[in-house]
């Protein structure tokens, strides 16, 4: 591997995992009725009628990746090691990575109808796309196959990654309870601080292959940049620091719950049970729930690193177009800039650039099959149409179908994740007391075969339930409920 690749990978790793460990985000568990503050991350209205006096998430980690550029498989000699293999074909390539660390977060009831929550987390998203011919050449270390000796145009590559800190204040309330149904709403105002960002945009790239080691560039529209807090990355003693300034973000949503019977809103016991908020009580179990939310509205601003650049033309005096040779032996972003500047008219990028959050529309349907069994379906649609930033990270469009079994202190989930890239991941998750564990693809976790996607998650929580008061009033009211709902 040449030194420029080492430099680039080091930058990406720092951006991707610096101080931290969303496609799928805690799949299955997010829409559990006992998910509490964890569920508020994708639907703030979930906090309305919180089933706990106080819900505290101590720590959580969720990570997932998907791509068709390389495969991984477990080593035959050592099951804990992985073997990396590039896919050297002409298929258009994509790669996606999401990572989240949930820091101490909590929620509590203000009153019967109102709840508050606070979330703190560190998030990272990276996505890349490359046209097929270009990806094949890169995978072959810039060695051009004899069959590819030709001219090419409209070759594109785009890469964007961003890591940021996020602190959210959530408010949820029970808007209306008509006995037969309920309407809930919620919103989260978020304070955002960037850890770092980087991007590469290569549009309408054209080139002619003169021989297997000589590439002549015929058309170019290139821009690349990174946040200035990574200047000096290659220097000894470099210390990472967050970017300057804060930005704002927003989530909001609404939930509709339909019950199989009309509840007696004047019942003293029903009022008490609503205060207790026990979803296991039959009088609190909906038949189905519909959830709509828009999440991650916002963007972050960064200052350009000093070696960020842009070019849309070659230098008239340039004669050596052996791009692979010019990339070899480079050890810093300064050397990269200087080397490219011998071929293309490279201008430094100054000022600020913005990166948009992965804004998404989420619709969810949760059906109560019977007893403690539920069937959940979520459709996540990335909203790429909003152009309020220079760059943007995003997650693939995805459908997740999850059968689940749940009680107050126990739960089991079997999410089936399908995205618009054709990826299908059958996952598995369990909840036992304060601990939630799961994998995004159970086949990947156990198989020795090649795989292109996978991930895992866990959450550690402490929840303080409401105390149930047994009284003569409850007994009388329970007999009335049994009589009316035979």
Among 39-48, 154-163, 356-365, the range scoring the smallest mean pLDDT is 154-163
What kind and span of H or E run contains 9? helix 3-17
Q: Which residues are within 8 A (CB) of 442 and not within 5 positions of it... i.e. 6 or more apart? A: 426, 427, 428
Report the 10 Å Cβ neighbour count for 64: 26
User: How confident is the model at residue 327, as a pLDDT?
Assistant: 66
pLDDT band at 149 (very low <50, low <70, confident <90, very high): low
Banded model confidence at residue 306, pLDDT cuts 50, 70, 90: confident
Residue 96 in contact with residue 126, Cβ under 8 Å? Answer: yes
Mean pLDDT comparison of 168-172, 229-233, 419-423, highest-scoring range: 168-172
Q: What is the pLDDT of residue 16?
A: 36
Helix (H) / strand (E) element for 140: namely none
Phi/psi-derived region of residue 329, left when phi > 0, alpha when psi is between -120 and 50, beta in every other case: left
The pLDDT score that the predictor gives to residue 243 is: 73
In the predicted structure, residue 388 carries a pLDDT above the cut 60? yes
Q: What pLDDT score does 364 carry?
A: 96
Structure-model confidence comparison of residues 346 and 267, the more confident one: 346
Alpha carbon distance 333, 4 (integer Å): 9
Bridge partners of 63, per DSSP, are 99, 456
pLDDT in tens, 398-440: 999 999 999 989 999 999 999 888 888 899 999 999 999 999 9
Element (H, E) at 475: helix 472-484
Whether residue 410 contacts residue 431, with contact meaning beta carbons closer than 8 Å, is answered with yes
DSSP structure string for 239-292: ---PPSS-EEEEEEEEEEEE-SS---TT-HHHHHHHHHT-TTSGGG--SEEEEE
Beta carbons of 203 and 221 less than 8 angstroms apart? yes
CA–CA separation, 286 and 49 (whole Å)? 13
Name residue, tokens 């972003």: 333
Tell me the C-alpha distance between 474 and 471, whole Å.
5
Query: Which tens digit of pLDDT belongs to each residue from 445-454?
Result: 776 677 788 8
Higher pLDDT, 69 or 479: 69
Alpha carbon distance 259, 393 (integer Å) = 39
Q: How many CA atoms lie within 13 A of 235 on its CB side?
A: 9
Most confident of 302-316, 435-449, 452-466: 452-466
> Which residue would you say has higher pLDDT here, 330 or 406?
406
Name the band, by pLDDT with cuts 50, 70 and 90, for residue 73.
confident
**Domains identified in the chain and CATH numbers:** 3-484 (2.40.160)
For the cut 50, the answer to whether the pLDDT of residue 250 exceeds it is yes
DSSP string, 126-138: EEEEE-HHHHHHH
DSSP 349-396: --SEEEEE---EEEEEEEEEEETTEEEEEEEEEE-TT---SSEE----
- State residue 130's pLDDT score: 87
Q: What is the mean pLDDT of residues 461-482?
A: 58
Across the chain, mean pLDDT equals 80
Bridge partners (DSSP) of residue 183 are: 176, 256
Report the alpha-carbon distance of residue 147 to residue 144 in Å, rounded. Answer: 8
**Better-predicted residue by pLDDT, 235 or 360:** 360
What does the buried/exposed string (b/e) look like for 213-247 if buried means 16 or more CB atoms within 10 Å of the residue's CB? eebebebbebbbbbbbbbbebbeeeeeeebbeeeb
Which of 405, 402, 459 is closest to 425 using CA atoms? 402
On the question of pLDDT at 2 being above 60, the answer is: no
Beta bridge partner(s), residue 375: 367, 403
What is the tens place of the pLDDT at every residue in 191-230?
Answer: 999 999 999 998 888 777 666 556 667 788 889 999 988 8
Cβ-based neighbours of 262, under 8 Å, separated by 6 or more: 179, 180
Mean pLDDT across 82-97: 79
Report d(CA 427, CA 421) in Å as an integer: 17
């Amino acid at each position: 591997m040449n030194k420029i690749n080492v430099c680039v990978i080091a930058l990406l790793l720092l951006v991707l995992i610096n101080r931290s460990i969303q496609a799928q985000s805690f799949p299955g568990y997010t829409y559990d009725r006992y998910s509490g503050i964890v569920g508020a991350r994708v639907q703030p209205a979930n906090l309305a009628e919180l089933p706990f006096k106080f819900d505290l998430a101590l720590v959580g980690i969720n990570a997932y990746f998907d791509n068709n550029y390389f495969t991984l498989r477990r080593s035959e000699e050592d099951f804990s090691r992985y073997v990396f293999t590039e896919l050297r074909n002409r298929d258009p390539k994509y790669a996606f990575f999401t990572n989240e660390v949930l820091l101490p977060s909590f929620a509590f009831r203000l009153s019967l109808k109102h709840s508050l929550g606070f979330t703190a987390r560190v998030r990272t998203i990276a996505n890349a796309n490359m046209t097929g011919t270009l990806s094949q050449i890169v995978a072959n270390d810039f060695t051009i196959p004899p069959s590819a000796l030709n001219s090419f145009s409209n070759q594109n590559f785009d890469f964007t990654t961003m890591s940021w800190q996020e602190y959210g204040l959530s408010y949820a309330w029970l808007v209306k309870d008509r006995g037969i149904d309920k309407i809930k709403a919620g919103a989260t105002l978020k304070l955002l601080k960037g850890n770092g960002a980087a991007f590469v945009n290569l549009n309408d790239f054209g080139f002619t292959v003169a021989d297997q080691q000589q590439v002549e560039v015929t058309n170019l529209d290139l821009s690349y940049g990174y946040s200035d807090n990574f200047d000096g990355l290659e220097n000894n003693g470099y210390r990472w620091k967050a970017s300057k300034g804060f930005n704002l973000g927003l989530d909001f949503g609404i939930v509709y719950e339909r019950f199989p019977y009309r509840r007696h809103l004047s019942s003293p016991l029903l009022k008490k049970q609503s205060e207790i908020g026990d979803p296991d009580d039959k009088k609190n179990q909906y038949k189905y729930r519909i959830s709509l939310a828009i999440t991650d509205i916002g963007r972050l601003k960064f200052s350009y690193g000093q070696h960020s650049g842009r070019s849309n033309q070659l230098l008239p005096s340039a004669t050596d177009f052996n791009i692979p040779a010019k990339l070899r032996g480079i050890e810093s972003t300064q050397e990269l800039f200087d080397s490219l500047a011998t071929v293309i008219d490279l201008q430094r990028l100054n000022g600020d650039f913005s990166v948009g959050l992965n804004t998404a529309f989420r619709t969810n349907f949760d059906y109560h099959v019977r007893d403690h069994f539920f069937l959940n379906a979520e459709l996540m649609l990335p909203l790429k149409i909003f152009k309020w930033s220079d760059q943007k990270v995003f997650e693939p469009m995805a459908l997740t179908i999850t059968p689940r079994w749940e009680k107050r202190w126990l739960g089991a989930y079997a999410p089936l994740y399908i995205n618009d890239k054709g990826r299908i991941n059958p996952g598995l998750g369990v909840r036992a007391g304060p601990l939630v564990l799961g994998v995004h693809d159970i086949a990947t976790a156990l198989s020795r075969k090649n795989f292109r996607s996978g991930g895992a998650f866990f959450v550690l929580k402490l929840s303080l339930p409401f105390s149930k008061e047994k009284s003569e009033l409850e007994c009388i009211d329970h007999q009335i409920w049994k009589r009316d709902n035979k």
